[in-house]
Amino acid sequence: MIDPIGNLVIRVLDAKTPDVNVILKDFNNCLTDYKTWADGFWTGWAMDVDQKFKVGNEVSVTERKTKTGPVETYATCPLMGDFTLIHMFESARYVPIGNTPVKLEPVKKAMFGGYDVVGPVIPANIGPSGIEVIKGCKPGQMYRITFFPNVSESNVKALYASYQGVIGNLDGWLKSEWLSKFQPQWASYSGDRPGGSLAHIDAVCTR
C-alpha cells in the first residue's frame, strides 16, 4: 500500500494539474479495508488489536482481542481502600470495553504453593465506560482479580469509529501541507518547466 503522501507526490509528478481533492478522497476511504476486517471479526480473523486489563497504575495485562476466558492478575489494595479497574483496547485512542464482569478475592500465599482465599469475594461489573472503582477493599491486602472479557460487536464498532477521528485529523493536516508548502512549489515547478510531468523529467535526465 502506498502511503497518502507518497501517493500525492506520485500523482502530482505525473499530472499537469493535480487534483488533490480526489487524492484526499481516496485517503479518507482507506478505512474500507478496516471496516471489512471489523465485519469479518466474527468469522475468526482479525488484525492485531489487543485487549488491555489494568488495575490502577500497578498492574497491566495484555491479551488477544479474541480472548474470552478468565484473565487473572494479582494486586495489593492501595491505602485508600479502592481499586480502579480498566478494560480497554490497546489502541491509539482510549476505546473502552464495557460490561465486563470481575471478581476480587483477598488471598495469601499457601504453604505448598498457590494462594488461599482469606475473606469474602467481591463481585463487580465494569460498566460501559470501561472503568470501575471498587471500594471497600482492605488496604495492604493482596487480591486476586479475575476479569471475564466478552468483546461484543458494539465494542468493535466503537474501535472502528475511533479511527475515523484520526483519519479526519490527518486529512486536515494533509490539506494544510498541500496549501502551505506543496502547491506553491508545484506552481513554481510547472511554471519553470512546461508540461510538469514525469515524461518531461525523463527527457531532462536523458540529455
Per the CB < 8 A criterion, the answer to whether 55 and 145 are in contact is yes
Q: What is the DSSP letter of 207?
A: -
Query: Residue 86 is placed in which grid cell?
Result: 480498566
Q: Give pLDDT, residue 111.
A: 87
Query: Residue 27 is placed in which grid cell?
Result: 485517503
pTM to 2 decimals?
Answer: 0.63
Query: Residue 155 is placed in which grid cell?
Result: 465494542
Please write the tens of the pLDDT for every residue from 33-91.
Answer: 555 655 555 444 444 578 999 999 889 999 887 778 899 999 999 999 999 999 999 88
Q: Which domains are present in the chain? A: 4-42+158-205 (no CATH), 49-150 (2.60.40)
Q: Give pLDDT, residue 174.
A: 73
Q: Give pLDDT, residue 191.
A: 61
Report how far residue 173's alpha carbon sits from residue 184's, in angstroms, rounded to the nearest whole number: 16
